[in-house]
C-alpha cells in the first residue's frame, strides 16, 4: 500500500518546487537528482544505475538508488543496493536503519533483528527500534505456527493497479480502485495513475467477486480520491471518505521542497429512491485535520472513524461518535490507548459480536501495517492482538472485514500489497477454519557433499503457486516439520548462507490425517575453485540478451552474491559444437557478459565478477564437431556456470 495512503490515508501532496537548480546543460547526475527530488523514483533509478556502474561510485548515488527502490516498495532491489551502500564504513547510520526495515519487508526477520540491534548499539535504542525488534521476534514464531486462515486473491476484480477496502452490503461488495487511465484523465502525480474511485462487484457464494464496475453514484463525481466506503445494515446509508476538493490548506517544507496538502473528509450519503443525497460529517475540519475510514456498529448507534485530530495517542487514531436522540452525531471521543498507539491506526471494522478489527503500524508486527483485533466498544477494549501469519505478512495488510460467521468458520475480505499479487494493493477473500487434523511433512537438511545433516538452514513451505505458507529453521540434526493439509501440493525450499539452495516438491494426495510425508534437502557448499551449473538459463537462437525466464534463475545467483559479500566468481557461458568455433566463442562471451551486466543491474559490484565465454571448448560429452547427437545431448553443453574464485 502506498505511503501517501497511510500518513494520513489518501493525503494529496502536490510538489511546488525543488532545491535542484536548473542548468543549461544538466549532467546525468543533475537529471537523476532532479527526478529523485520530484518523486519520479522509477525514472531516477534508471539514471542512478548508470552512475553507480563504475569502480568507485559516489556514495550519494548509491544511497539515492537504494532509496528509490525502497520508496517504490521494491524491497528486493532495495536490499541489493543497501548492501552496496553499507560496504562504506562511513555510511550514514540511517542507511543501516533503512536496510533493517527492508530486510524485515523481505521476511528476513532474523537478519533484520540483528541489523536493528546494530543500529541501536551505534545510534541509541529508541521505542521505535524496540518495537521493530519485538515485531521480528514475533514474526519468526508466527511463521513457524501459522493460523488456519486461507487467503485467495480475488483475481477477477484485481488489476495491475490498486484495489482494496472490500465492504459487503447485501449481495454486492463496495471497494476502492484506481481506474484505467483511458477512462479517467485526471491522475495523481505520485503514482501516475488516476485518482481512486468506488467500485462495486457481485458477491457470489464462497466470497467470490464477479462483474465489477465503477459505482454509478454521485459520490464518485469528485476531482480527487474517493473511498473507502462503509454502510448501515440495509445499505441505505453510506459513509464515504473523500479528499477535500477545495483550496489547499497546509504548506509544508522538507529538504527545501514545498508541498500543498489536502486533508480527508467524511460524507454521509442517504439513498432516496435511487438518488444519493450527501451530508458532511459534522466534525470535518479540513483546515486542521483529516477524518475518514468509517465503521458503523451493528446497532447503528456508534460511528467509528480515523483521524489525526488533536488529543489522540499518536499519528492517526480510531475515534468514535455516538448518535444523539435527535439523530445527529455527538462530539468525537478517542477510543483509548488499548487500541491506539503512538503510531497510526486505520481501517476499523466491527462485527455484531463486538469484535473490532483494525490495522496499525504502532504495535509489534510483521510488516508496516498489520491487522489487529480487540473486543469491546467505544473507549473500553481488550488488549490489541496481532492476527498473525498468514493474515499478516511483511507487506501492508489492512481493511479486514468479516461478512459471514458460523460455529466452524469465519469469512470476509482483506487487502494487502504482499508478494504474489496482481497489483500494488489487491483484495483477498479469506476463510478462517477452526483447527483440523492434518498431515505431517517431515524432512532433513543435508550437506550435499558430505551427506551429513545440516543444522540452522532456513526452510520455507510454499504452495504450488509459490505462496509462502510457513517458515522455520532446521534443528541441530537438520530436522524440520510442518503441519499441512491433505490433497495438496507443496514445495519445500532450504537455504543457508555459504550454500546453494535446494528445493523439493511433494504432495499429500491419498494420505489421511495423521500420516507423514518425508522430504530431504541437499544444500551444496560454496568452496573456492568449485563450479556450479545454473540450470534452465536459455537464450533465443543466435541472441545473447537475458530473457525473462533466465532472469529468474540469475536472481538466485544475485541472492547468493548478496548473502556472501566476499564471494567473487567467474560467470561462464558455453555453447554446443554446432556452428563455427570462432563464432561460438564470440557468442558465448557476449552471453556471459550479458549475465554479468544483469547482476550489476541488480546491485552486485562489477569487480566481483569475471565474464568468460568458452564457446564449445569445454564440452561435457562426446558431441564434438562431426558427431551426430540428439538435441538433448547438445542441450547439455549449452549451459551457464559460475566458478568460485574467492570466498
Mean pLDDT of the chain: 87
Residue 551: pLDDT over 90: no
Residue 11: pLDDT over 80: no
pLDDT the model gives residue 12: 44
User: What's the grid cell of residue 631?
Assistant: 538435441
Residue 182: pLDDT over 70: no
pLDDT the model gives residue 6: 39
Q: Where are the beta strands (DSSP E) in 363-467?
A: 370-377, 380-381, 385-386, 397-405, 409-416, 426-433, 439-447, 458-463
pLDDT, tens digit, 9 for 90 and up, residues 252-276: 444 444 444 568 999 999 988 888 8
Percent of the chain scoring above 90 in pLDDT:
60
pLDDT the model gives residue 193: 59
Q: Distance (Å, rounded) from C-alpha 173 to C-alpha 185?
A: 26
Name the residue among 254, 352, 378 with its Cα closest to residue 299: 352
User: How do strand 397-405 and strand 426-433 relate by DSSP bridges?
Assistant: unpaired
Residue 492: pLDDT over 70: yes
Task: Determine the average pLDDT of the residues in 569-576.
Answer: 92
pLDDT, tens digit, 9 for 90 and up, residues 390-438: 999 999 999 999 987 766 678 999 999 998 888 789 999 999 886 666 8
In angstroms and rounded to an integer, the radius of gyration of the C-alpha atoms of the chain is: 27
pLDDT the model gives residue 542: 61
Residue 517: pLDDT over 50: yes
User: How does residue 207 score in pLDDT terms, banded at 50, 70 and 90?
Assistant: confident
pLDDT the model gives residue 181: 56
pLDDT the model gives residue 203: 84
User: What's the grid cell of residue 368?
Assistant: 508496516
pLDDT the model gives residue 420: 85
The length of the chain in residues reads: 647
Residue 10: pLDDT over 80: no
Residue 38: pLDDT over 60: yes
Q: What is the DSSP string of 581-634?
A: HHHHHHHHHHHHHHHHHHHHHTT--GGGEEEEEEETTT-SSS--TT----HHHH
pLDDT the model gives residue 412: 94
Question: Are 319 and 293 contacting, i.e. CB atoms less than 8 angstroms apart?
Answer: no
Amino acid at each position: 500500500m502506498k505511503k501517501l495512503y497511510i500518513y494520513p490515508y489518501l493525503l494529496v501532496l502536490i510538489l511546488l518546487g525543488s532545491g535542484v537548480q536548473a542548468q543549461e546543460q544538466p549532467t546525468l547526475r543533475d537529471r537523476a537528482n532532479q527526478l529523485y527530488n520530484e518523486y519520479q523514483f522509477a525514472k531516477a533509478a534508471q539514471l542512478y544505475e548508470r552512475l553507480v556502474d563504475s569502480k568507485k561510485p559516489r556514495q550519494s548515488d548509491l544511497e539515492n538508488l537504494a532509496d528509490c527502490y525502497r520508496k517504490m516498495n521494491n524491497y528486493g532491489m532495495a536490499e541489493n543496493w543497501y548492501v552496496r551502500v553499507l560496504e562504506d564504513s562511513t555510511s550514514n547510520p540511517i542507511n543501516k536503519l533503512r536496510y533493517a526495515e527492508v530486510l524485515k519487508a523481505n521476511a528476513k526477520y532474523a537478519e533484520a533483528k540483528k541489523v536493528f540491534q546494530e543500529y541501536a548499539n551505534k545510534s541509541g535504542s529508541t521505542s521505535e527500534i524496540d518495537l521493530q525488534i519485538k515485531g521480528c521476534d514475533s514474526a519468526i514464531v508466527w511463521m513457524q505456527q501459522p493460523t488456519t486462515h486461507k487467503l485467495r486473491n480475488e483475481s477477477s476484480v484485481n488489476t495491475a493497479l490498486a484495489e482494496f477496502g472490500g465492504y459487503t452490503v447485501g449481495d454486492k461488495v463496495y471497494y476502492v480502485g484506481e481506474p484505467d487511465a483511458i477512462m479517467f484523465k485526471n491522475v495523481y502525480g505520485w503514482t501516475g495513475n488516476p485518482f481512486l474511485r468506488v467500485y462495486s462487484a457481485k458477491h457470489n457464494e464462497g466470497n467470490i467477486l464477479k462483474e465489477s464496475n465503477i459505482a454509478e453514484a454521485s459520490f464518485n463525481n469528485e476531482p480527487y480520491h474517493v473511498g473507502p466506503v462503509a454502510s448501515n445494515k440495509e445499505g441505505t446509508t453510506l459513509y464515504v471518505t473523500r479528499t477535500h476538493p477545495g483550496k489547499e490548506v497546509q504548506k509544508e517544507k522538507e529538504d527545501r521542497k514545498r508541498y500543498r496538502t489536502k486533508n480527508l473528509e467524511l460524507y454521509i450519503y442517504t439513498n432516496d429512491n435511487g438518488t444519493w443525497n450527501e451530508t458532511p460529517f459534522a466534525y470535518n475540519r479540513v483546515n486542521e485535520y483529516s477524518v475518514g475510514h468509517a465503521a458503523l456498529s451493528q446497532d447503528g448507534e456508534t460511528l467509528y472513524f480515523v483521524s489525526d485530530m488533536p488529543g489522540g495517542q499518536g499519528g492517526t487514531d480510531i475515534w468514535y461518535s455516538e448518535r444523539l436522540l435527535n439523530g445527529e452525531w455527538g462530539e468525537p471521543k478517542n477510543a483509548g490507548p488499548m487500541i491506539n498507539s503512538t503510531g497510526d491506526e486505520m481501517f476499523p471494522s466491527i462485527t455484531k459480536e463486538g469484535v473490532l478489527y483494525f490495522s496499525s503500524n504502532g504495535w509489534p508486527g510483521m510488516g508496516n501495517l498489520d491487522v489487529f483485533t480487540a473486543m469491546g466498544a467505544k473507549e473500553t477494549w481488550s488488549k490489541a492482538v496481532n492476527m498473525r501469519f498468514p493474515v499478516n505478512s511483511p507487506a501492508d495488510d489492512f481493511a479486514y472485514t468479516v461478512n459471514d460467521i458460523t460455529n466452524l468458520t469465519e469469512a470476509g475480505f482483506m487487502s494487502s500489497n504482499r508478494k504474489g499479487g496482481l497489483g500494488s494493493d489487491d483484495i483477498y477473500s479469506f476463510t478462517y477454519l477452526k483447527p483440523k487434523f492434518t498431515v505431517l511433512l517431515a524432512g532433513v537438511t543435508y550437506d550435499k557433499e558430505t551427506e551429513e545433516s545440516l543444522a540452522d538452514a532456513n526452510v520455507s513451505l510454499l504452495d504450488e503457486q509459490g505462496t509462502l505458507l510457513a517458515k522455520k529453521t532446521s534443528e541441530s540434526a537438520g530436522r524440520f516439520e510442518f503441519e499441512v493439509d491433505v490433497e495438496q501440493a507443496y514445495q519445500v525450499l532450504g537455504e543457508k548462507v555459504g550454500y546453494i539452495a535446494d528445493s523439493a516438491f511433494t504432495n499429500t494426495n491419498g494420505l489421511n490425517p495423521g500420516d507423514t510425508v518425508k522430504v530431504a534437502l541437499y544444500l551444496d557448499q560454496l568452496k573456492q575453485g568449485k563450479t556450479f551449473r545454473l540450470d534452465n538459463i536459455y537464450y533465443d537462437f543466435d541472441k545473447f540478451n537475458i530473457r525473462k525466464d533466465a532472469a529468474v534463475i540469475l536472481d538466485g545467483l544475485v541472492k547468493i552474491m548478496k548473502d556472501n559479500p566476499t564471494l567473487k566468481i567467474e560467470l561462464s557461458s558455453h555453447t554446443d559444437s554446432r556452428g563455427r568455433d570462432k563464432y561460438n566463442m564470440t557468442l558465448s562471451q557476449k552471453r556471459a557478459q550479458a549475465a554479468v551486466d544483469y547482476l550489476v543491474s541488480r546491485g552486485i559490484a562489477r569487480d566481483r565478477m569475471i565474464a568468460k565465454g568458452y564457446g564449445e571448448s569445454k564440452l561435457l560429452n562426446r558431441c564434438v564437431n562431426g558427431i551426430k547427437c540428439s538435441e538433448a545431448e547438445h542441450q547439455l553443453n549449452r549451459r551457464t556456470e559460475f566458478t568460485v574464485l574467492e570466498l
